[in-house]
Structure 1
């Protein structure tokens, strides 16, 4: 039985606590944002890691279960996450669940790291908790003290760039995207699918001297999101500003997912902004699109839940973010006895909100119309030793790869296509969704 120790420290902004480790492989920040967000986490120096590429035939879900090991109790006075695994699941991990023959990106299907300690930032109490685990109380306390020392680490000089981080950011041809949308509508009308999420890409390079952490801090300052995250890997980084939860699981096995379907842009005029939110709430098209994904998620969760335990207690709620209004529903369930987090991920990945319905056929259609997605529309998640989980859908996310010329940048935004979708309107929706990332990459600081 491993022990847990918790030490406290005065409040520190979590972004700047991460700054000294910005270039360190497996340094990770999971950030709450917006109203009601309570906990942010900083993790580094994992005990173990694994990275599974398409060429590796290992079972990724078995590898995750092995890395986690047996359930261990959590501290009753601690944060929801008290150490365990952080994982990055690329969209193409889904090909290991349904053999679709998906082309692979140059990203691993699954990367996981096991952390013995973390810093938890309580935004409500304005306090920092250092959490450590060990085979004895003294070992656990030593881990917690080591994590507490991260707050005092010196930060190397790195002037914050004032100009555009990515002055050459370029979007895919709008006409090509509209043609893809029109093709999906035809395939829906022909009865092949009911819905598919089709995305387009923006690509470029970071300016000399800029790095992924600069983008993370800009996004955090300009457009905080409930599932913002920074993950540094060897030669790669993910910067996410996601508003969407994939799956949340309590230590008691209670499951919640909150799929997003339906979008309207925000407006600076308060009256017009309210009218756009009301229009979204009243839209039969958007409600039908949302309900299709709710049904899909209910079906996925039923695979690992006792009969009758899957419910949809909250449908079609408006949630507003810096650039868009979204239509969000909630689905709940419970893990069946003998089922764990690895079983749940195998049953539900990739998230239904970014695939379509029926899920497998929608993924086939997506693969015909898009290059491999990599991290985009995958998930970033944590799993605690007590069996708890929280995870995001990696939308509003930038994938960065380091090469001899610096950092390559790719961001994507998509829209759910249904029978009455208008290609131009769907293209404009992608532009509304990418707006915060585009602004952070291409505009100068005032």
Structure 2
């Protein structure tokens, strides 16, 4: 292991002692349902259980506890898409330090309001963390504030590295640790800590396909960077200067994950593991979902790095995941209209063991005969085979049946 990294094992050990009593020692929990699904032993590190629901508290507490009296009096400023913001604001309030947080204008409202509730001054600026960073540096210089970078800071990195120390205390025989990858602070420090304790352990990073900053930096690629992502917490365009050398040397692979898999991972955490994960927090599980056979027969530790997801967004993600799995489907039936038609359809659907969630009944489409009717059904099913059986029964009963997607409803309404 290189001795030229910004932090070393001793720094991470010191950070652990420094933050003891200020942050929660989160549990590492075996997930039987995820293990069964993925065909290997999966253990989840619950960083979503901190007071501000993310691992960021570790680095924030470690940094703030090392400030001088003069620096504490002047105050601090940070740029963040949410979790670093909440962590800095929370611990700054605990330690009596004034805090200003610059957040992208696209930050989810729940994260903005949670940060404001901690007493920090909020500045919304730019569409990305990169743009917010420029504004934070301007304010820091103008007001003589201490800038607390979300990942390119040795004290922040050392604090984050305490995750792996706890994981390997609880499960010394882990074969793999998969960690979300944004700017790289969490990944880099934990790679140092884990590889020091267990040199043969495989460290894997996971980043969203929308922001493949490390894949570009490590491999000399030029993948497009940017766009709407559920994993806004790791939506970073440029990698850390301090983190890149560590990841280049100690991390074996970086797995890009699609938005569909991120949504699926969020839904699986809620449905199978009974815990809340935000998009960025779920990408380590999403990375496993890209190729489960790769991890067969190995003990895999997943860092669930944060759980700050709006409940309405979580509900929407879970509904979309059910639609992808054909557990909720929408069908458009066309038929001649006659008394008792809806009752007949309901009886037929019920006899097939499905549940009708919503019905939309229209006679106004111009592509229908004057006496025709179009009926859109949203139904709950057991999956793809069940849907095909229902479609067959409807066809046999004389209906024209077409599968429709949610966007089709919007087209009908908007024209």
TM-score between the two structures when normalised by the length of structure 1: 0.22
- Bigger Cα Rg: 2
TM-score between the two structures when normalised by the length of structure 2: 0.23
Q: Which has the higher helix share?
A: 2
Q: Which structure has the higher relative contact order (CA within 8 Å, separation 6+)?
A: 1
Q: Which has the higher strand share?
A: 1
